[in-house]
Structure 1
């Protein structure tokens, strides 16, 4: 098998272990929370409606936050080979993320906040007695702290990119698009990292503005917001930030497949045009979440639908076909990292299909508030973005020369893929049956699909546990072998 190495130093490799492991463990815990909800909807256990909505709030918030934390570790790991990032800022993001998570947990489980991740105004302040001001402030404050950590990371990444490439346009390849040459090397990782930096900075600023205004409203009810503006800001924040996880993960795809195949991932005109288009589209397609809001200007709804179609193609096409071109007749030897990353391409492609269907106005009016939406999103995230995170964990073990696969790992891969496909099918089928996506109690005709989803979730949790335990057991050794080699080289120099 072709030896796999990279130029990342031991310090950087060690620094990504904790956030990757923490993000993965949180993802596993959110899977368990999701299983509890499915068991309740499937009439296999009984929990109170109040508790259901609390863990539903935790599941949506925690899964995205955990995925983003692990995603920043991937982005930091690979882009640090080309630009000088601040380790202090990277660590600050981890610390603020932990603090934010603690605040969110206090808001939910101590003070009963249960308004879902959307926290639509004025719900945090007017709960009908379900929670008080303390719960809303802890949750919204925790989200603000979380967002601040991520914003610092992206601002530092933007600073480093501008310092090396002059401006963000150069890092998106504008000179190459217009037929000019660039002095600096422009790897795909930097192009993707620039896109994520731009869109997530915009998303986090939008989110912070509505979070802070909501907190002010709780303490001073005379301070009000336009509810439609508030909803636009919330969905702009949530949609962009959630989707960016797969864009951070795909940086690893661009870096790893060339190492396996010995073929470079070339940056060419169409590739750069696709990433530039996605940078623009990702920031303005969120109105497809508002297609049922009659008060939204019609031009925004049309724009949201048209660009939702368009956004699903550029980066996906150049990445999926690029991966196939690099792999085709390359003699690649499949192992856990390469297999997980290849599966993530499949999950990304498949997850986009029901998303585009849902973005059609006529279908959206019927399907958007059903479990069809969790179906496409779990396919996109679980078989796509989260698979990239697990692939990255195994890759780090591989470049360290540690044991990274066994029959149990391979079995877990197939269990993960097949059972996740089963979970997403159960959601999509529930959507066909018009099962609402935020109801604690389900009618009898919806229950069989919920039970199928619960069984699938158990298999997913088993496979995910194997992936995480494998990484956790070897985590202490990461970086030590390279350190020992460097020490010997210095002693015998």
Structure 2
């Protein structure tokens, strides 16, 4: 007999998050396939043109972060709407903007051959050496701008709703509690995390919009120029903050779900709040660790980037990991796919942070940053951290509806995903160790075995991910269903 899991989310909200969650999951799966094609090519197991390689590399990096963010916004909308009144119209506007932007990006890449990577470093979009024209750059940059505008509207609405209830964002970050006072309103961990994500992503998206719009203007008016170093700072500030925020969107679900499984509350105590406040500040200013090789950068910015990269990797991760262990220990928790994946996501987060901190060390960064070490750490962070939270959220949505999806097949898929994703990321980290560069379509013979290992492991990741998505897609039609359908749904996978 399964333990009953329930929450206070109405079925209308539950149904609203199905499409963006499934959309994000499917795009992530497709981006995994693109990544496998790149590994197969680098491993000499297939042969694709260099131009096609860089096009799918551009799509892979852009699509993976965007898909994770759209699914992450569904997590925020689902859980935070229990505490503040969010606008469904703006939430769906974000989804529509995402779809429009994706179509434009696909046109830019596959119709007009844009292949400048997600970084679109100025002046590369306008000066491509004949590889693509203005149309390709415009569709890509315009699609990114539309997607960013949708997310900006969503986070502004989240901020509006939080301020309306808590008075200001400082209160929602627990400042009264930190300074020895009391809160008039209940302050759940989900609201604290949502406040942090809202602050950092608003800053990131405004920054991104600025450099995207300036780059678009430069396409049509070359006399309008941008300082290349400023443009690179703006791009990496936007990309690094937004990509990293996905894990913080997903952890909202961790804070909400584990108390339901264990019957123990996740409290917003002082150290917890201090950690989230520290990460709010640090996340916005650590991006210079991506620019340590740019000798023209101000030295003080590089020092801050290194020092705070160490500091930012710990506060929220420590209080989340310790809090999860504290809540689970001797709780008698009944493990199912949702709880397994949520717990595994914290494990993946820890694994991903370690090589990231290593890379932030200047003497190591000078040797390793332009190697596959960097995608190694990021794949651990995203694949075993953020993506695992999304798969867990999908299973949780079915769980609260009473749909039984705990079979040996599911659990085997979980272990396949865990082991093979470690294999993929491990192949990247090893390639970085032997100095295999990232973003190269062709590799020397000594680098090929690691590429082949990663490609083979990636098939296991794709298989397990497909199982997660198929399970959710088939069963999600019962979410918010009428009582007659509810009577039959338990027979699906019993």
TM range, smaller chain: over 0.9
Tell me how far apart the structure 2 counterparts of residues 356 and 206 of structure 1 sit (CA, whole Å).
25
Gaps of 5+ in 2: 487-494
- Corresponding position of 1:305: 306
Pairing 1:482-493 to 2, within 5 Å after superposition: none
Q: CA deviation at 1:424?
A: 0.8
- Residues 225-254 of structure 1 show CA distances to partners (whole Å, capped at 9, x for unaligned) of 000000000000000000000000000000
Number of residues paired by the alignment? 485
- Residues 429-464 of structure 1 show CA distances to partners (whole Å, capped at 9, x for unaligned) of 000110001000000000000000000100000000
1:400 and 1:482 in contact (8 A); partners too: no
Q: Please state whether the residue corresponding to 1:480 is helix, strand or coil.
A: coil
Pairing 1:76-475 to 2, within 5 Å after superposition: 76-475=77-476
Q: CA deviation at 1:483?
A: 9.7
Q: CA deviation at 1:277?
A: 0.2
Tell me how far apart the structure 2 counterparts of residues 484 and 473 of structure 1 sit (CA, whole Å).
14
Tell me how far apart the structure 2 counterparts of residues 389 and 128 of structure 1 sit (CA, whole Å).
40
Q: CA deviation at 1:313?
A: 0.5
Tell me how far apart the structure 2 counterparts of residues 69 and 17 of structure 1 sit (CA, whole Å).
11
1:426 and 1:452 in contact (8 A); partners too: yes
1:40 and 1:440 in contact (8 A); partners too: yes
- Runs of 4 or more, structure 1, over 6 Å off, are 482-485
1:10 and 1:483 in contact (8 A); partners too: no
Tell me how far apart the structure 2 counterparts of residues 15 and 37 of structure 1 sit (CA, whole Å).
35
Tell me how far apart the structure 2 counterparts of residues 425 and 152 of structure 1 sit (CA, whole Å).
38
- Residues 190-231 of structure 1 show CA distances to partners (whole Å, capped at 9, x for unaligned) of 000000000000000000000000000000000000000000
Q: CA deviation at 1:406?
A: 1.6
Q: CA deviation at 1:404?
A: 1.8
1:419 and 1:457 in contact (8 A); partners too: yes
Gaps of 5+ in 1: 486-493
Tell me how far apart the structure 2 counterparts of residues 447 and 355 of structure 1 sit (CA, whole Å).
24
Q: CA deviation at 1:481?
A: 4.5
Tell me how far apart the structure 1 counterparts of residues 107 and 405 of structure 2 sit (CA, whole Å).
37
Task: Report the TM-score, using the length of structure 1 for normalisation.
Answer: 0.98
Task: Report the TM-score, using the length of structure 2 for normalisation.
Answer: 0.97
Q: Please state whether the residue corresponding to 1:223 is helix, strand or coil.
A: coil
